[in-house]
Structure formats: C-alpha cells, structure tokens
Structure 1
Amino acid sequence: MTGLTEHQLCLLEYIERFMAESGGIAPTFTQMMVAMSLLSKSGVHRLLSALEERGMIRRLPGRARAIEIIDQQPDLTAVPVQALLAELARRGLHPHLPGSTTTAPGSTLPGPLPEPPVPSGSGPSEHRFHASEVSHV
C-alpha cells in the first residue's frame, strides 16, 4: 500500500478492522473521528476522499456507512495459463507443472524436467556440532 500517508494508512487499517469485527458494517464518521483523534468530521471526509482517489476504498453516494474496501491483490485467476507460462519463459523461468510433459533442456524427448543435483556436503547431517565446539560468548 504505497502512496498513502501515515494518517490515510491508519484510517484504512481501522476501517478494515472495524468491518471485520462488525460483520462488514463500516464505522460512522464519528467513530472514525474519535479513532483518529481528529477534531472534526471534515478531517475524516478529507482522509476518505484521499483513500477513494487512490483506489483503496469505494463509497456509495447517498448511503450512510457505505464503504467498500477494494482488494489490492492481483486476481491471477483471470489470467490465462498460457499467458502466465509465456511470461515465465520470457523471464527465463521454466516451471514444472505436475502431470505435464515438457522438454527438458538439452533434450528433444518430452518428459518431466530432471531434479537438480544436490551438492555433496550440503545435507543437514554432514556435520554435527559437539558441545565442545560451540564457544559461549
């Protein structure tokens, strides 16, 4: 949530918490004013307008307590799988999807990609510390 001032972020987090605890009902201007230690409701209006301009919330005009938090997470379910795979390939990443048959690098035969080799000496049981080896600081 970049681009928000400290007060805007604080109000947004308050609204999110309030709505989660109240079953989706938004706080009143008075509740937001008290929570933010503001002296007037115009300060709440100013902060809400800024959040709305930045696409963080949506307000329905003419309705009391009608605030909707806009989900900022990208919806990857709307992106076709082929487009995602093409983007990964463009970045040099080649994922192996379970049950898929792909061509392994350097091979013309379709099949699953080989597991990368594990370097020797990298396993967790290669060296065990003895109590005498550990220095106490």
Structure 2
Amino acid sequence: MMGLTPRQADCLAFIRGRLEAGHVAPSYEEIAAHLRIVKSNVHRMVHALEERGHIRLIRNRERSIALVADGVTKPMEAGLALLSRVTGKSRDQLVAQAVEEFLERQVRR
C-alpha cells in the first residue's frame, strides 16, 4: 500500500479484515495483541493511517475506526481529519458546511 510502512500496512489489513467481516472495529488492545506491539505504538500507527487518509476516527466513541469510502480521495480525507482537529468540528459538520457553502454559491450564479 502506497505511503505506508510494513507495520502500518499490517495494521490497516487487520482493521480492514475485521470491518469487512462485519465485526466492530478492533480496539487498540486487540490491534496491539494482533501485531504484538504496545498500545502506545498502536495509537501512533492509527493516527498515521488517519493522516494518510486510509481510515477515519470517529471522535468520542469507543471502537471508532472507520474505513474511508472509495469515492473519497486520501488527500480529501486527510484534509478533513486535519481540519477537524484544528477547528474542533466533526468530519460530518465540516462536510455539511462545505456542501452548504457550495450550494449557496451555485444558487447565486
């Protein structure tokens, strides 16, 4: 997978496998056990995956890892993740705001 270390690719494959099998997202403890690493390394790895746009984290929820939809580009998802951290708004709030602003511009034409 482009732009990922081998360990990050392993982590993403584990997360993807769990979610695509219909299970809830794995906990950081489960990821750590699967990869045989400590939980703090999982935290860094998961955030790196989010920054690269492979996953998104749903704030204030347990087991909050979601895969990025195919139609959303990695740079778009990474930009949303960064903007979410900077503004304190959720990803959904940012998308809704962008759509609203786009529609307002289209109506004014």
- Shorter-chain TM-score: what band? 0.5 to 0.7
State the shift of 1:61 in Å.
Answer: 1.2
CA–CA distance in structure 2, aligned partners of residues 49 and 72 of structure 1: 19
State the shift of 1:74 in Å.
Answer: 7.1
Provide TM-score, normalisation by structure 2: 0.61
Alignment of 1:50-61 (within 5 A): 50-61=48-59
Q: What secondary structure does 1:46 align onto?
A: helix
Task: State the AA in 1 paired with 2:14.
Answer: Y
CA–CA distance in structure 1, aligned partners of residues 8 and 70 of structure 2: 15
Which of the two has higher C-alpha Rg? 1
- Residues 1:33 and 2:36 aligned together: no
State the shift of 1:17 in Å.
Answer: 0.6
State the shift of 1:25 in Å.
Answer: 1.1
Alignment of 1:91-102 (within 5 A): none
For residues 79-103 of structure 1, give each alpha carbon's deviation from its aligned partner in whole angstroms, at most 9, with x where no partner exists. Answer: xxxxxxxxxxxxxxxxxxxxxxxxx
Task: State the AA in 2 paired with 1:9.
Answer: A
Alignment of 1:1-137 (within 5 A): 1-21=1-21, 23-38=22-37, 40-72=38-70
Tell me which of the two structures has the higher relative contact order, counting C-alpha pairs closer than 8 angstroms and 6 or more residues apart: 2
Conserved 8 A contact 1:56-1:72: no
CA–CA distance in structure 2, aligned partners of residues 34 and 11 of structure 1: 11
For residues 39-80 of structure 1, give each alpha carbon's deviation from its aligned partner in whole angstroms, at most 9, with x where no partner exists. Answer: x211110100100010010001111001111134679xxxxx
Higher helix fraction (1 or 2): 2
> Kindly, what percent of the aligned residue pairs are identical?
36
